[in-house]
Amino acid sequence: MMSFARTALLMAAMTGLFLAFGYMLGGTGGMLIAFCIAGAMNLFAYWNSDKMVLSMHHAREVDDHTAPELVSMVRSLAARANLPMPKVYVIENAQPNAFATGRNPENAAVAATTGLLKTLNRSEIEGVMAHELAHVKNLDTLTMTITATIAGAISMLANFAMFFGGRRDNPLGLIGTILMMILAPMAAMLVQMAISRTREFAADRAGAEISGQPLALASALEKLHMGAARTTNEAAEDNPATAHMFIVNPLHGRTFDSLFSTHPRMEERIARLEAMADMGMGGGYTGTGTSKSGASGIPDSGHRGPWG
């Protein structure tokens, strides 16, 4: 409940920033024009972002024949979370990672890299898939679309002011207008990233509740964090705007949690999951069962098997 309240507060702050900035620079008319243009762009992205993102990362859909164990696992977790069965994708990528996409639970998809499937054991993969289903259940895609719309509108207002100038009777004056043009988009980006970090914490908690094993998810996060640091994800580097979707940051050069990070500090995420286990929720996981070959007979790259 607190995470939803914080998200709502951050979204209200971003909306207030947009209204104030828009009125100062463009008046009511300029503010409405920018909002409509940004809204139209993000509406298109909302309906097509899942296809676009899956295509960017060269994901292939799998089913009961091509990846029976993975699909069966996701189906079981979705039923446990009271969600429709999402589409399941596998990405041929050595970096261990995963993400969820889709505009609503009825049109959702979860994707895991082959690196993840080879690195984690079954319990850890369940924890990761439960985390991604939590994003679907919490409607995080919708939340981030709304914030992206407002952030986009603020950037458009800044561009409008840069090329056409703001209101002549702007109470901020010339210097104040220039500062607003620079600082307002940065502030919007910071709020947007803060919302993204908040949603990651919420998905960790809900994912642990769905899987029933918070320590398995904590173990998975630690392995994914180390694996992502060692392995370059070229598709993510080419499309950094999709970084916030992944369960761990797929980009290099961001090893610390800064104002510009889309993910919380890994140490804090793991500590919160361990605290859940200490309170008696699924604390029996010990991490046993990991084999050198990965999770339950992961096939070599290029060969299909139970995990795709």
CB within 8 Å of 18: residues ≥ 6 apart: 31, 35, 150, 153, 154, 157, 188
Q: Contact at 8 Å (CB) between 151 and 192?
A: yes
Give dist(CA 130, CA 262) in Å, integer. Answer: 20
Give dist(CA 217, CA 31) in Å, integer. Answer: 44
Q: Contact at 8 Å (CB) between 260 and 236?
A: no
Give dist(CA 33, CA 156) in Å, integer. Answer: 9
Query: Burial code of 220-247, b = ≥16 C-beta within 10 A, e = fewer?
Result: bbbbbbebbeebebebbeeeeebbbbbb
Residue 132 is a catalytic residue = yes
Pick the catalytic residue from 69, 124, 126, 132. Answer: 132
Residues in the chain, total: 308
Tokens of 152: 């986009």
Amino acid at residue number 281? M
- Active-site residue numbers? 132
